[in-house]
Structure 1
C-alpha cells in the first residue's frame, strides 16, 4: 500500500509500494519556494521552509499509519453493507421497471421509482464501490470479490485502463501542468497558467456535453485517444499495436454495457409491454450517473483557490512535498453523510489525495485533523457546498474560455489576432 503513488511503467495496475524517489528527506538541501509563480500569482506554500514541509510529511506519515493499523471488522462490514445495498437497490429498481409502462391516472409510478433507484444504484457502484475498490482500499481484506485486481465496474472504461490513467498518472502528478491530463481532460482550460488558444472559446458548450457523456469521455481519455490522434503518423508499430489492442478492449466493454442496458433489460420487460419505457429509464439513469460523477469530480480540482504546479517544481520531490501538493491541489465538498457516500467520499478529496488507498469510510474521521494541520501551517483548506463548488467551476470554465486579462490589451483583440493567424496558416496549408 502506498504513502505516495509510485511512477510506474505503463500497464501496472497493482497497488504500489513506497516509491524510493519520493524520499522522506532530500539528499541535498531543498530550495525555498518562490513567493510568486510564473504567472505572477502568489505561491500558497512560499512561507514554508523545506524543514517545515518535511515535518508536515512526518506528521501525515504517522496519521496514515495510525489509521491503516486500526482497520478491521467494522471497516469490512461497511463496504460489504454498501455493496449489498447497491445490489438489492439495482435488482429492485430493475424489477420495478418490468411494470414501467403501467399508468396510474396518467402517471407511471414504476418508471419514476425504477429510474430513480437505478440512478442511485449506478452512482453507488461507480463512486463509493468501483472507484474505491480499484484504488486498492479494500485489498487488505484479502477478499477476491472485493479486490482491485479483480473488480470490473459498470462503466464504459475498462478497469485496467482507468487504473493506469487515474491511479498511476493523475494521483502521481496531481495538478502538474503538462503531466496531469485530468487537469481539464485535455479539452478544458481550467487554470490561468494553461496556454489559451481558439480551441477553448467553445468550452462552455462542450463542458456540458462532456458531463452528459462522461463515461464515454473517460473511456476516450483513458485510451489516450487525443495523444494517438496527435502523433499517430509518428508512432512505432509496437505503439500502434498497443493502441489498437486498448481500443478493441474499450469497444468490447462499451458493447457489453450497451447490450446489458439497452438490449437485454428492455427485452426482459417486453413480456409486460414495458420494453420502451425500460429503455428510456436506462438512458436516463446513465445520464444522471454521468452528470453526477462529472459534477463531483470537477469540484475536486477545478474550483478557485486550488493550486496548479509547473513541471520543474516536482523535480527531486520529497514525500513531504508530494503531500503538500496533494493538499494544495485538491478541494472538498461539505454536506451530509448520505451526500458523502453518494460522492464515493470524494467530497473528502483532500484526504483522498493524501491517502488514496485508505478506506473511504475513514476520510470523515481524519478530515478535522487534516484541516487543523493545514491551519497550523497557514495553508488554504478549500471547501464549500456542492452548489457553490460546482457553480464556481462552471463560471471558471466560461471565464477561461477567453484569453487572460493583460493590461493594455483587450481580449477581443487577442482573439482577432489568433483568428487571423489561423486563417493564414490554413491558406498556407492549402498552397503546399
Structure 2
C-alpha cells in the first residue's frame, strides 16, 4: 500500500488541498455524518459505541482518520498499521461490504452539508474516488481475515462457564462455546468482541476485550474492569459516561448466562516465531492493560525455553485494584530469568516495599536499571498496554534509552483501537 493508482494526479492534488479544510471542519463533518447515518439506519447503532457517539470521541477519531488519509493520499504506506488495526476491529464486529456503501453515502453528504459550495463537483468526485480506494482495500483485507477464521464468520453463542473476581474492579469471565466445538487458537495479545443487549438503550452493543489467558480449546477468558461511571440500573444515567457492557457483565451476567462472541482478532500479539525463541521480552502495563500481557506471559511461561529472560512490569493505583496479583508475583519462582516489578500509586497501610510492591507511584522506567530492561540485548522485544498517555510516555522512555521503534509494540485502546 504505497500509492493510489486509481486516482489521477489532479484528484490527489485536490485531496491534499482539502487538508486545511479538514483541520477546520473535520469534526463537524463527522458529527453530522454519524447523526444523519444513524437516524436513517438505526440498526447500525449495534455496531457503533453509543457512549463514544455522545461524548464526541468517535467523531473526533474519524475526523483524525480523514485528516491522516488526506495528508498521506500519495503515500498510503504510511497508513498501513492504522488500516490493519481498523480492519481487525471491523472483522470483530462483522462489518460487511454493504456497510461501506452506507458509510460512503452519508460521509459525502455530510461534507456537502457542512462545506456547501466549497465542496465543488471536482472535490466531491475526488473524495468519492479516494473513499472507495480505501474502502475496497479494507474490504479486501477484511475478506482475508474472515477467510482465516475457519468458518466462524458471524456472532457465536457462548455461555459464562465461570466468573472470578480478580481485584476490586476487575473480574474474569470464562466463556465456553454453547456448541461445544473446539475453539480456534489465537495469538496471545488478541481480543474478542462481546455483544449483549443493553436495556438502557434498547439495542445491542459490542465491546472488545483482550483475551487474558493462553489459548485453550474449550474456553476463552476475558478480564473486565468495571467502569463505575455509569449505573446501568438507573434509566436517567447519562449515555456519555462509559461502561454499559462492563457494568452489565459485572452486575447482571452470571454463570450459565449467554453472550454473543466474535472470532479473536487484533494486530497486537506475540508472533508465533517468538513463542519459543530465546529473545528477551519485557511486558509493561498499567491498570487493566495487563490483560493481553497476561495472555502473553502465560503462553511464554508454558513454552519458553528455560533461561529465557522475561520481565513483567505493572502499575496499579492500589494493590487492591491489581488483578492477578498472586499469579504475577509467583512468576519469578518459575525461573531465575523471570522478573516481576510492581508500581503502586497509593500503598495500603501495612504494605511493605519489596514485598507487596517495589516502587511508589506510576510506572517509571527511570527507576529500573538497564539490566532490568534487558538493554544489553539488541533483540529484546517490548510490549506495552494501558492508557494512551501511559503507552506513549513509556515508548518515549524506551526510545530515550536506545530501543528502536521496531521493537516496541503497543495496544491501542479507545476508538479506533480496543474499547474497554
Q: TM-score, normalised by structure 1?
A: 0.25
Q: TM-score, normalised by structure 2?
A: 0.26
Specify which structure has the bigger relative contact order, considering alpha-carbon pairs within 8 angstroms and separated by 6 or more residues. 1
> Where is the helix percentage greater, Structure 1 or Structure 2?
1
